[in-house]
Amino acid sequence: MRDFVLDHQDTIKFAISYHSFGNMLVIPYSGADRTKRLTEDQKAIYGEIYDDCKYADQNTIMGTGPEMVRYVSNGEASDWILYNTGIIAMSPELGSSDI
């Protein structure tokens, strides 16, 4: 996947990695490295996406992995894609949850 993204980064405009935990939009940065932060422009883009693509029962929430599912990892695909290529990426959680 890394090689594909790098080979096509000039044509990829947006990357989605679907998950199935709950009604959430997981956005970068979810890794333990807290020095990585979204720029104001990136925050605005994610905010616009959130406003325009609520699904299910309108209880969709947006945030980082630690904020949403309360665990810290080394990061996820969206973190790597945004940080290394500048491509807006996110992981929508499309299942149901008791959150």
- pLDDT level of residue 9 (50, 70, 90 thresholds): very high
Segment 37-47 mean pLDDT: 95
Q: What angle do CA 54, 60, 62 make, to 5 degrees?
A: 100
CA–CA separation, 97 and 80 (whole Å): 26
Which sign, positive or negative, has the C-alpha torsion 80, 82, 86, 87?
positive
Helix (H) or strand (E) holding 90: strand 88-94
Global pTM value = 0.82
Max Cα separation, the chain?
Answer: 40
Spatial contact of 76 and 21, defined as CB atoms under 8 Å apart = no
- Greater model confidence, 19 or 7: 7
